[in-house]
Amino acid sequence: MNIILLGCPGAGKGTQAKLIEKKYNIKQISTGDILREEVKKGTELGLKVKEYMDKGELVPDEIVIKIVEKRLKNCKNGFILDGFPRTLNQALKLDEILEKLDMKIDAVINIEVSEDEVIRRLAYRRSCRKCGAVYNLIYNPPKNDEICDFCNEPLYQRDDDKEDVVRRRFKVYKESTEPLINFYKEKGILYTINGERDVDEVFNSIAEILENIQKSK
């Protein structure tokens, strides 16, 4: 099965993609994770994209399209695109790539979350550099103010989780990515679900959609 997860930053696409990957044994392709890894390793590509990412801007289309094209070739058993496409141009290029590979998208799942909830989820997120634990100062706070429960290290905030950058990321989503909802609605493959629920409840909605699609295949 080939799936696209749509939704603003902080909608829970990455979390849901990992659950889908596990249950259905299909590969997650997260352009955000791939780019962050390049930045962390300090590669030439990482240096090129860091500035865009830190500001909450989109990385140029050609760069992400190349990344996705390379990975799709190894996804004959199915894939979950998480964070791609993010522009109409990326969506059109994706259609061309899939046609060449004789593949098609079965479902585009649009996870809906409000801007206020995105701010609560992302701008209050803190992580530990040492053990990688992730907290949320509202939903899942550490026992002591901004100190890791496990390592006693001070927690840090990702540059792109600063509130002004999160608001910028949300604005970029509204302008560049939201139009894709109609693009996929017109193709008849769009499913919209409420993302402001527990992780398990959101996943149950997704599983129901995917199982109906599998049955009708």
Q: Exactly one of 50, 93, 121, 125 is catalytic; name it.
A: 125
Residues binding ligand AMP (CB under 6 A):
9, 31-32, 35, 52-53, 56-59, 64, 83-84, 86, 90, 169
Residues 195 and 62: their CA atoms lie apart, in Å, by 30
**Shorter beta-carbon distance to ligand AMP: residue 12 or 32:** 32
Helix (H, G, I), strand (E, B) or coil at 155: coil
Q: Exactly one of 36, 48, 158, 162 is catalytic; name it.
A: 158
Least Å from the CB of residue 177 to ligand AMP? 8
**Shorter beta-carbon distance to ligand AMP: residue 26 or 122:** 122
Least Å from the CB of residue 87 to ligand AMP? 7
Q: What is the DSSP string of 163-215?
A: HHHHHHHHHHIIIIITHHHHHHHHTT-EEEEE-SS-HHHHHHHHHHHHHHHHH
Least Å from the CB of residue 211 to ligand AMP? 26
**Shorter beta-carbon distance to ligand AMP: residue 62 or 201:** 62
Q: Exactly one of 86, 93, 121, 126 is catalytic; name it.
A: 86
Give the residue closest to ligand AMP by C-beta.
32
Least Å from the CB of residue 40 to ligand AMP? 13
125 assigned to active site: yes
168 assigned to active site: no
**Shorter beta-carbon distance to ligand AMP: residue 12 or 56:** 56
Using CA atoms, how far residue 10 sits from 15, 19, 21, 48, in Å, is 10, 16, 19, 24
Q: What is the DSSP string of 1-70?
A: -EEEEE--TTSSHHHHHHHHHHHH--EEEEHHHHHHHHHHHT-HHHHHHHHHHHHTPPPPHHHHHHHHHH
53, with CB counted inside 10 A (0-12, 13-18, 19+), is: buried
Least Å from the CB of residue 144 to ligand AMP? 28
169 assigned to active site: yes
Residues 18 and 22: their CA atoms lie apart, in Å, by 6
- One-letter amino acid at 144 equals N
**Shorter beta-carbon distance to ligand AMP: residue 61 or 196:** 61
Question: Which of the residues are catalytic?
Answer: 13, 86, 125, 158, 169
